[in-house]
Amino acid sequence: MSEPFSVPVTVRGYETDVQGHLNQSVYLNYAEHARWSLLRAAGITQSALVGSGVGPVALETTIRYKRELLAGDEVEVTCAFDWGEGKTFRIEQTVRKADGTVAAEITAVGGLMDLKARKLVANPQEYFAKLAADPGFFGL
């Protein structure tokens, strides 16, 4: 895929703070929504993950706020997986306004936990590739 996966989101009034800006915690919700939307688009459900004995875990998240978002703003939230050599992977995400302005950049480090052993699996990309109807969404 040449363009990263993305989902549209409209900023809702109740998500804003006293200054009228999108509340900082809501950026995490938007990022999570995009990640689960990518999994669904690739053909992976939450029940399929749990049924295979693994679950995604967030290990670290960094948000770089670039421009304010206000109620009614329409944005695209991108999601791209970056696979490393070990047990973890990175997810690069951008929150972009309709005019192309970058409002935020989100980088997450995650893994897949073996739900019985309670430890990260050694090869998360193999699990995603096996479970996905379309592994291309993960760059696999």
User: Is the per-residue pLDDT at 1 higher than 70?
Assistant: no
Q: Give the percent of the chain with pLDDT over 70.
A: 99
User: Is the per-residue pLDDT at 2 higher than 90?
Assistant: no
What amino acid occupies position 54? V
Domain extent for 43: 5-138
CATH code assigned at 130: 3.10.129.10
Number of structural domains (the chain) is 1
pLDDT tens per residue, range 51-93:
999 999 999 999 999 999 999 999 999 999 999 889 999 999 9
Q: Mention every residue, 6+ apart, whose C-beta is less than 8 A from residue 112.
A: 54, 55, 56, 57, 120, 121, 124, 127, 128
User: Is the per-residue pLDDT at 3 higher than 80?
Assistant: no
User: Two tokens at 139?
Assistant: 């760059």
